[in-house]
């Protein structure tokens, strides 16, 4: 447990919750990142402006942190082919399951949605199993 960053986790989490609330109050939309990306590319046209702006905000935050506090954005410890396989699975899984850590884990759980509760427990469990298996191999 020596890696636990308690206060920055609580602080960052609160900002994530505030951001999701702002998007809901202003646009009436759920801050689910996989859905925002997926529906920007594959959804109905005419609904894309706010999605594009939200994603631009995420990218700008990444750029700002990379310039000002580069240690906060680290590469994955896994090799690029494994990261590619991971991306593919995340793309397929979030599309099939209608959401990811933000849409189900934060927004859906906050609404006490039964679908999000099932999804979140499922992906946390398979994620833990995967990390355990990878360490054994």
Please give the residues from 16 up to 55 whose contact with other proteins meets the rule CB under 8 A.
16-31, 33-34, 37-38, 41-42, 49-51, 53-55
Among positions 15, 44, 45, 46, the unique one binding other proteins when judged by CB under 8 A: 15
Q: Angle CA(125)–CA(21)–CA(15) in degrees, nearest 5?
A: 70
Residue whose CB is less far from other proteins, 45 or 89: 89
Give whole-number Cα distances, 95 to 30, 33, 55, 61, 67, in Å.
Answer: 15, 11, 17, 25, 32
As a dihedral over the C-alpha atoms of residue 71, residue 74, residue 77, residue 80, rounded to 10 degrees, the angle is -150
From candidates 5, 44, 45, 137, binder to other proteins by CB under 8 A: 5
Element of type H or E holding 10: helix 6-27
Tokens standing for residue 7:
């206060």
Contact by Cβ (8 Å): 78, 130:
no
Nearer to other proteins, 45 or 77 (CB): 77
Per-residue CA distances from 130 to 44, 81, 125 (Å): 35, 16, 9
The residues in 107-136 that bind other proteins, with binding defined as CB under 8 A, are: 107-111, 113-115, 118-120, 122-132, 134-135
Q: How far is the CB of 68 from other proteins (least distance, A)?
A: 10
Q: With CB under 8 A, what is the number of residues at the site for other proteins?
A: 110
Q: Draw the binding track, 49-88, toward other proteins (x: CB under 8 A; -: no contact).
A: xxx-xxxxxxxxxxxxxx--xx-xxxxxxx-x-xxxxxxx
Minimum CB separation of residue 128 from other proteins in Å reads 5
């Amino acid at each position: 447990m020596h890696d636990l960053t308690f206060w920055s986790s609580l602080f960052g989490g609160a900002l994530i919750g505030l951001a999701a609330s702002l998007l809901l109050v202003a646009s009436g939309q759920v801050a689910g990142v996989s859905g925002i990306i997926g529906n920007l590319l594959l959804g109905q046209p005419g609904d894309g402006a706010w999605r594009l702006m939200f994603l631009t905000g995420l990218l700008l935050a990444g750029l700002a942190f990379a310039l000002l506090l580069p240690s906060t954005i680290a590469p994955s410890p896994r090799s690029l082919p494994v990261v590619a396989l991971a991306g593919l699975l995340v793309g397929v899984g979030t599309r099939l399951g209608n959401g990811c850590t933000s849409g189900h884990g934060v927004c859906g759980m906050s609404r006490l949605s039964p679908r999000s509760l099932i999804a979140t427990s499922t992906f946390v469990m398979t994620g833990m199993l995967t990390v355990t298996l990878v360490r054994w191999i």
